Amino acid sequence: GMNIKRVMASVCAVMLCASPVFAFDAAGAKARLRAGDMGAVSSVREAAASGDASAQYLMGVLYERGDVGVPKDVSRAIEFYRLAALGGDAKAMSNLGTIYATGESGDVDEARALSMFHMAAKAGDATGMFNLASMYKAGRGGPKDMDEAWFWYRRAAELDHAVALYNVAMECQKRPRFC
């Protein structure tokens, strides 16, 4: 019969070959992009094509802004943000929410924005939490819900989101029992 150790060894070898040898250095790539390094764009693009969510997020940012030699193209930005969001990138979820909330894509879709901010907030993104709270407070994308709004403002404040901290502090002054 087949030797189980040989089977396991070949499975392990296949898995090792399938995984990339070098992990994408998102922080390094961001620094190079900020410095206007055009070479960084091709390495980010390659990593994005190989399925790296942080690289897909960065490509989304480049297309949304039209930066470092990448032409501004919001629909391409949305494509990259969607891929990154599927890969679990919370910032991509938040940025998609902003695009839908502002109509940067051509259409305002507040229900979709609310849903993207909710995903971003659940994934731990402070900006997503803040934007979700603001949507609930204003009744944008769904019914007005002050309990949900303050729940998410507090969560964003706990992550040191400056405006959320300010909002919570102001609310605490007006209504000490709230705190």
Cβ within 8 Å of residue 94, ≥6 positions away: 116, 117, 120, 125, 127, 128, 131
Token reading at 130: 């803040």
pTM for this entry: 0.82
Instruction: Give the model confidence (pLDDT) of 77-127 as tens digits.
Output: 999 999 999 999 999 999 999 999 999 989 999 999 999 999 999 999 999
CA angle 164, 168, 174 (to 5 degrees): 145
Q: In whole angstroms, how far apart are CA 68 and each of 6, 48, 147?
A: 49, 16, 42
